[in-house]
Amino acid sequence: MLFLGLSLTICLGTVFAALLFADITFIDAILLGIILAPTDASLAQKVVEERQVPTLIRNGLIIESGLNDGAVMPLFIFVVALEAVEKLNRPLGTFLAIALEQIGFGIFVGIIIGLVGGWLFSRAFKAGSMSEVYYRTEFVALALISWLVADGVGGNGFIAAFIAGLATRIEDRQVTEEEVILLPRAEGNVLNLAVLFILGVMSAEYLPLVDLKIFAYAVLSLTVVRMVPVTISLIGSHLNIKTGLFMGWFGPRGLASIVLMLITVERIEGIRVSGTIGLAVITTVIISVFAHGITAGPVSNWYARIIATLPPDAPEKESVEELTALQGIETTENIHKEPY
Who has greater pLDDT, 282 or 168? 282
| Number of compact structural domains in the chain | 1
Contact criterion met (CB below 8 Å) for 251 and 226:
yes
Q: What count of residues does the chain have?
A: 340
Confidence band (pLDDT; 50, 70, 90) for 284? very high
pLDDT over 80 at 52, yes or no? yes
Residue 15 included in any domain: yes
Residue 176 included in any domain: no
| 119: CB partners within 8 A, 6+ apart | 173
Other Cβ atoms less than 10 A from the Cβ of 170: the count is 11
Residue 98 included in any domain: no
Contact criterion met (CB below 8 Å) for 325 and 61:
no
- What does the alpha-carbon distance between residue 228 and residue 249 come to, in Å, rounded to a whole number? 10
Full domain range(s) for residue 268: 2-89+186-338
Contact criterion met (CB below 8 Å) for 279 and 206:
yes
Amino acid 33 reads: G
Residue 8 included in any domain: yes
Residue 77 included in any domain: yes
Confidence band (pLDDT; 50, 70, 90) for 23? confident
Residue 137 included in any domain: no
Confidence band (pLDDT; 50, 70, 90) for 256? confident
Confidence band (pLDDT; 50, 70, 90) for 218? very high
Q: What percent of the chain has pLDDT over 90?
A: 31
